[in-house]
Chain A
Amino acid sequence: MATLLPFRSAPTPPGLPMADDKYLSIEGIARRYPAPGGGSTTVFENLWLPMRRGEFVCMIGHSGCGKTTVLNILAGLEAPSEGVVIADGREITGPSLDRAVIFQGHALLPWRTVLGNVAYAVSSRWRSAPRAEVEERARRAIATVGLAGAEHKRPAELSGGMKQRVGIARALAIDPKMLLMDEPFSALDALTRGTLQDEVRRICVETGQTVFMITHDVDEAIYLADRIVLMTNGPQAKVAEIVENPLPADRDRAALHHAPGYYALRNHLIDFLVTRSRTFRDDPPAGYDPRHPPVVRPTLSDADATAIAAARRA
């Protein structure tokens, strides 16, 4: 049997330097729907966002601001009313196996087993692969998310967390260049959510996956993201700012709240969600340019400064 590729996208061949810094680039997209009384309502407009290869980006915003729509556009499931999205140097015109989607409602095919669901994705990716190889890849993906032994269960026999693991396995199994996740853990209880966040983080760090994830859980964004995109409320939502996560790359969930910068970041995000997401549209900061949304790195609060000092002494 042919050797199996690891779950890792091939490194960019030399000679394609731009691809790394703007691996994915949202360029001025808008989404409008016809309004009931004629005219149109704008869900969001003039959205710009570059993403680097290997980066974990979380998008945060209130319900209805158009996060799912943005993700669907990145997935190629919907087309923007204006603007384009460039992925790996090419405009997105439809869905692609390069961009795997983890759906909010897990979206498993209930008539297939766990193995069948993952194998369906694998055989879609490698159409002429022999059965044995398809199954082998599927089994490995299932083992990666810790579901080995449950291959022959049907989705109805699984807990919510296990279903979402299968969704993750299905996405990973096709060896995508990018993962798109729409509030993947929002329907889970806190304990399961934490475990799955750990798993996703481990897998993404190990494989250097580029991830775009939607969430409205501030702590989830802090734990997982390298950068956090803040969306204002809809309609006419915008990217208010892009927050750089100051926390170190090797994060420990248990010690997260001791990490320097944690409180400053958390307070900044919550402030945004509580007030600024609402007031931003009518009162944007001076010099706001939607094409280059301000990049923010929250300054350390006193509590953080103490924590850093303690860390240095240690």
Chain B
Amino acid sequence: MRASLSLRAGLVSALLLLAFLTVWHVAVGGTAKTEAMDPEYAALMGASATTGKSAMPGPLDVAVTIWRHLKDPFYDRGPNDKGLGIQLAYSVGRVALGYLFAVLVAIPIGFLIGMSPLMSRALDPYIQVLKPVSPLAWMPLALYTIKDSGLSAIFVIFICSLWPMLINTAFGVASTRREWLNVARTLEVGPLRRAFTVILPAAAPTILTGMRISIGIAWLVIVAAEMLVGGTGIGYFVWNEWNNLSITNVITSILVIGLVGMVLDQLLARAQRLVTFPE
């Protein structure tokens, strides 16, 4: 029965989903006791007070919203009303930029730290102090110096992606097996070629682990950062829909954020598998 494990797991997943949706549907669908009231007052109070309908949307409401977003993800009706696709594109773009800069900085510096015990010790105190700082704590400083909210969000992504990559690169480089380095040395391979042909492939799985952690953190942070800076992005969208009291949109966003995060993680996981070597 081993072969059908994934089938059974899928079945259990589907059942759990069904149960969850049912409970959700029943919980929000129930009508509470209502009192007779003046029609004008009733109009002000809305459906939750007049018909006893819960303010919490049910799964069907959310499904309708999702369908609506899927049909037209890229509409643009002014600064406060853009399609989910556009908002996601902003967020993914910011994460990509900040993350890319972090890669460009973290990997060379990680190499330096990993190869030079002197630099490792010299930079260690800074890394130890800066690493635990919540990336959002940088936001005011970024806003003050950069004076651009979009760039500030990118900077925050840069900062939060930096540390896992930096630390993992340094660790991966420093733990390159001595015998592989000796192979390169006996072949009179120069430092640059050695870095690319021995150290980089040897450290690549560790570096990719760091990159995978970083992309996860970056995607966590972008939502919070965009709530702060506003304007565009999925984080801003969530906050804006909360202000609009559109809980269906908030729930839809949560789902979409989760899905995009999963896709980003899976991309990095695939890259990681490509560079991992069996020993």
Chain A residues packing against B (C-beta within 8 Å):
75-77, 94-97, 99-101, 103, 105, 107, 109-111, 120-121, 124-125, 154-156, 174
Other-chain residue from B179, B188, B278 in contact with A124 (beta carbon distance below 8 A) = B188
CB atoms of B182 and A107 under 8 A apart:
yes
Q: Which residue of A lies closest to B188 (CB)?
A: A97
Q: Are A154 and B278 in contact (CB under 8 A)?
A: yes
Report the separation of the CA atoms of residues A120 and B183 in the bound assembly, to the nearest whole angstrom.
10
Q: Which 10 A-B pairs have the closest CB atoms?
A: A156-B278, A124-B187, A111-B277, A107-B179, A110-B277, A95-B186, A111-B201, A95-B185, A101-B186, A110-B279
Chain A residue with Cβ nearest B187:
A124
User: Which B148-169 residues sit within 8 Å CB-CB of chain A?
Assistant: none
Which of A94, A111, A125, A154 contacts B187, CB < 8 Å? A125
Indicate if the CB atoms of B197 and A120 lie closer than 8 Å: yes
Given contacts A103-B179, A105-B179, contact A77 B186 (CB under 8 A): yes
B67 lies within 8 A of chain A by Cβ: no
Residue of A nearest to B279 (CB): A110
B186 touches A156 (CB 8 A): no
B180 beta carbon closer than 8 Å to chain A: yes
Q: Are B183 and A174 closer than 8 Å at their CB atoms?
A: no
Q: How distant is the Cα of A107 from the Cα of B204 in the complex, in angstroms?
A: 18
Known: A96-B188, A124-B189, A125-B187. A101 touches B182 (CB 8 A): yes
- Whether A109 pairs with B188 at a CB distance below 8 angstroms is no
Measured in the bound complex, the distance between the Cα atoms of B181 and A103 in whole Å is 12
The B179-218 residues at the A interface (CB cut-off 8 A) are 179-180, 182-183, 185-189, 197-198, 201-202, 204
Shortest C-beta distance, A156 to chain B (Å), equals 4
Q: Is the CB of B186 within 8 A of A99?
A: yes
Evaluate contact between B182 and A77: CB separation under 8 angstroms: yes
B187 touches A97 (CB 8 A): yes
Instruction: Assess the A120–B187 pair: CB atoms within 8 A.
Output: yes
Could you give 7 example pairs across A and B, Cβ below 8 Å? A94-B185, A95-B188, A96-B188, A97-B186, A101-B182, A111-B277, A156-B279
Task: From B187, B188, B279, name the one whose CB has the most chain A CB atoms within 10 angstroms.
Answer: B187
| Sample of 12 more A-B contacts, CB < 8 Å, known A96-B188, A107-B179, A154-B278 | A75-B182, A77-B185, A94-B185, A95-B185, A107-B180, A109-B183, A111-B201, A111-B202, A111-B277, A120-B187, A124-B189, A156-B278
Q: State which of A103, A120, A156 has its C-beta within 8 Å of the C-beta of B182.
A: A103
Asked if A109 and B198 make an inter-chain contact with CB atoms under 8 angstroms apart, the answer reads: yes
Contact A107 B183 (CB under 8 A): yes
Q: Kindly provide the distance from the CB of B113 to the nearest chain A CB, expressed in whole angstroms.
A: 23
Q: How many residues in B have their beta carbons less than 8 Å from beta carbons of A? A: 18
B contact residues around A110 at 8 Å (CB) = 277-279
User: Which residues of the other chain, A, contact B180 by a CB distance below 8 angstroms?
Assistant: 107, 109
Output the nearest chain A residue to B277 by Cβ-Cβ distance: A111
CB B32 to nearest CB in A, in angstroms, measures: 65
Q: Which chain A positions have C-beta within 8 A of B185?
A: 76-77, 94-95
The listed residue (A100, A109, A111, A154) touching B186 by CB distance below 8 A is: A100
Q: A111-B201, A111-B277, A154-B278 are in contact. Are A174 and B182 (CB under 8 A)?
A: no
**Once bound together, how far apart are the Cα atoms of A109 and B180, in whole Å?**
7
Residue with the greatest number of chain B CB neighbours at <10 A, chosen from A94, A96, A99, A107 = A107
A184 to chain B, nearest CB (A): 13
CB pair A156 B179 closer than 8 Å: no
A174 to B183, CA, bound (A): 13
B183 — nearest CB in chain A belongs to which residue?
A: A107
On chain B, the residues within 8 Å of A105 by CB distance are 179
**Nearest CB to that of A156 among chain B residues?**
B278
Q: Give the docked Cα–Cα distance between A266 and B189 (Å).
A: 42
Give chain B nearest CB distance to A150 CB in angstroms. Answer: 16
Contacts of A155 in B (CB 8 A): 279
Question: B179 — nearest CB in chain A belongs to which residue?
Answer: A107
- Cα of A121 to Cα of B183 in the assembled complex, Å: 9
Q: How far apart are the CA atoms of A156 and B204 in the complex, in Å? A: 18
Q: Name the A residues within 8 Å of B187 (CB-CB).
A: 95, 97, 120-121, 124-125, 174
Q: How far is the CB of A153 from chain B (nearest CB, A)?
A: 12
CB distance from B277 to the nearest CB of A (A): 4
Residues in chain A near residue B189, CB distance under 8 A: 124
- Identity of the chain B residue whose Cβ is nearest the Cβ of A108 in the assembled complex: B183
Interface centre among B188, B198, B277, B279 (most CB of A within 10 A): B188
Looking at the assembled complex, report how far the CB atom of A142 sits from the nearest CB atom of chain B, in whole angstroms: 17
Nearest CB to that of B204 among chain A residues?
A: A111
> In the complex, how many angstroms separate the beta carbon of A118 from the nearest chain B beta carbon?
11
A154 to B279, CA, bound (A): 9
Cβ-neighbour of B277 out of A77, A124, A156, A174 (below 8 A): A156
